[in-house]
Amino acid sequence: MSLHKLTAHEAHELLVKKEVSSYELTEAVFKRIDEVEDKVKAFVTITREAALEKAKAVDDKIKAGEQVKPLMGIPMVLKDNMCAQGVKTTCSSKILHNFVPPYNATVVEKLQEAGAIVVGKANMDEFAMGSSTETSAFAQTRNPWNTDCVPGGSSGGSAASVAADQGFYSLGSDTGGSIRQPASFCGVVGLKPTYGRVSRYGLIAFASSLDQIGPFAKDVEDCAQIMNVISGHDFRDSTSADVPVPDYTSFLNQDIKGLRVGIPKEYFVDGMDPEVEKSIRQAIAKLEELGAVCEEATLPHTEYALPVYYLIAPAEASSNLARYDGVRYGYRAEGAEDLLTMYKKSRSEGFGSEVKRRIMLGTYALSSGYYDAYYLKALKVRTLIKQDFDQAFEKFDVLVSPTAPSPAFRFGEKVDDPIQMYLSDIFTMSVNLAGIPGISIPCGLVNGLPVGLQLMGKHFDEGTLLKVAHAFEQSAGYYRNKPNL
C-alpha cells in the first residue's frame, strides 16, 4: 500500500485499527521525500531523525493504550517562518540562514501536544514576500503538476509538499494570499483563517495586521481536523481572539440547500484566463445543483485592494524587519570597521531584492510628510474595503471567486516584473485587509494544471466555509486528481 498517498484522516483510521504504526507512516513519507525531493525541492530542512524518534514515542503511547487523537502520529510539514525549538528557521532568507529558535511557535506547541510528527521545514518566498517561491534565497520549489511551473507563493514549499505526498498536511501563512494561491496552483485545499483565529506567536512577522497561519490539506475533512488543533486564543499573542472554537468537523457532510452565495462582479474581470473563468462558472453551477442560491454581489472598492495592500504590507514589513541588524539574529557581514557600516553591510548582503524593495516602499510610506498621504489614506480605504464585505454578508452567507486569475505560471515569467507578480494575488488580498476567512479548493484542471475556487466568509465563520467546501468537494471529486510525478 502506498501509505504516503493517504489523507491524514485515512492514515488516522489505520492507526486506530492498529493496521499501521506512526513509524511506518513516517518512514513511508521519508521514502517519498527521497524519491521526489530532487524534483520538487519543497524543503529547506528535513528533520528525519527527530521525526522517526517522535514516531516511535507516539507508537509506544498507542501501545500503552493511549487514545489515538486525530493528528497523532501523522507526519506533517511546517513553513520555514514558524519557530520550532532547536530547528533552523530561516524564512528562506540569508539573513536568518543560521537562526535556531530557542522556543516553539504556539501552533508548533499545539501540534506537538496533539502528537503530530514534523518531517521538515518548507521553502517559501523570502520573508513570505512573493507569489511564486522564486524569492527564496535557497531553492526553487517546483510545481508537482508541472515542474517547469512555479508552485505559487509565498507558501510554495508547504503547498508542493502536500501535493507531492511528502507530508500528509502542512501549515503555511497568508498575508495577501500566500496559502490560498499556492493551494490553488498545487491542487490542494488551503485555508486562511479569520485574523485572530490562530495565534501568531512564533510566526516570524511580515505584516502583523494581515499575517495569519493556516492549513494545507489533501481534503476538506483534514483541513477541519487541523483547524481544531491550531485554533484558539493565546495570551502570548495580543491580537489572537478570545472567541470559542467550534468542532470544525461538525460542519462536514451538511446540506447546503438554501445557502446564499454571492458572486462579486468585480472579481470577474477582463484579463482573467477564460479557462479559469469557465472552471469557476462550472463550480458555481455545481453549488446551485447542490441547492445553494447564487446571485451577483458587489464589493465596490475592490480595485483599491492592491494599492492599499502594497502600502500597508510594506509599511509593516519595514518596521518588523528593522530587527535584523546583524547584532541579534542571523547573518553578520564580515570586515565592517564600525557599527553603522556593520548594520548596512549585514542588511545589504543578507536581504534579497524583493525584501529590500518592500523595506524601501514601506519606509517611504511611513516617513513624515508622506505618512498622511500614503499610509493613513491606505488605512482609511482599508476600512472601506472591510465595509464592502460587511454589507455583502448582510445578504450572503459566503462569497465565491477564482482564487487566482491564472493557473501556475512558468519560472521567470513574472519574477522581473513586480506588478505582474503582485497581480496574481488580486483576488486574495482583500480578504486579508478585511480580516475575514478564505479557503481555496480544487475545482478543475486547465492544461493539466489545477484551478482553485475561493470561498470567502464572515469573521469567525470558518465553519460555513468548510461546510460549503466539503459539499462541493464530495460532489465534484476534483480532490482525487493527483499529479504524475
Binding of ligand GLN at residue 191 (CB under 6 A)? Answer: no
User: Distance of alpha carbon 279 from its chain centroid, rounded?
Assistant: 22
At residue 356, φ and ψ (nearest 5 deg) are: -65, -40
CA-based torsion, 211, 42, 224, 199: positive or negative: negative
Nearer to ligand GLN, 293 or 379 (CB): 379
* Residue 313 interacting with ligand GLN (CB under 6 A): yes
The smaller minimum CB distance to ligand GLN, of residues 75 and 130, is found at 130
Dihedral of CA 382/388/391/397: which sign?
Answer: negative
Q: How far is the CB of 215 from ligand GLN (least distance, A)?
A: 15
**Sole binder of ligand GLN in the list 129, 150, 259, 321 (CB under 6 A):** 129
Q: Should residue 80 be labelled a site residue for ligand GLN when binding is judged by CB under 6 A?
A: no
Q: If binding means CB under 6 A, how many residues of this protein chain bind ligand GLN?
A: 13
Minimal CB distance residue for ligand GLN:
178
Catalytic residue numbers read 79, 154, 178
| In the complex, minimum distance from the CB of residue 207 to ligand GLN, in angstroms, rounded to a whole number | 8
- Contact (CB, 8 A) for 184 and 152: yes
292 near ligand GLN, rule: CB under 6 A:
no
| Nearest-10 crossing angle of helices 220-230, 8-16 | 80
310: number of Cβ within 10 Å: 21
Angle between helix 377-395 and 305-320 (nearest 10)? 120
Sequence-separated (6 or more) residues with CB below 8 Å from residue 148: 142, 410, 411
Residue 483's SS3 state is coil
Q: Which stretch binds ligand GLN (CB under 6 A): 37-45, 126-134, 280-288, 324-332?
A: 126-134
* CB distance 454 to 400 below 8 Å: yes
Q: What is the dihedral of CA 20, 52, 83, 222, to 10 degrees?
A: -10
Q: Does 435 bind ligand GLN (CB under 6 A)?
A: no
Provide the mask over 141-180, with x wherever binding to ligand GLN is found by CB under 6 A and - wherever it is not. -------------x-------------------xxxxx--
What percentage of the chain's residues is helix, strand, coil (to nearest 5)? 45, 15, 40
- Find the shortest distance in angstroms from Cβ 74 to ligand GLN: 26
Give the nearest distance from C-beta 206 to ligand GLN in angstroms.
Answer: 6
Candidate list 109, 134, 316, 425; residue touching ligand GLN; CB under 6 A: 425
Q: Which positions touch ligand GLN (CB under 6 A)?
A: 128-131, 154, 174-178, 206, 313, 425
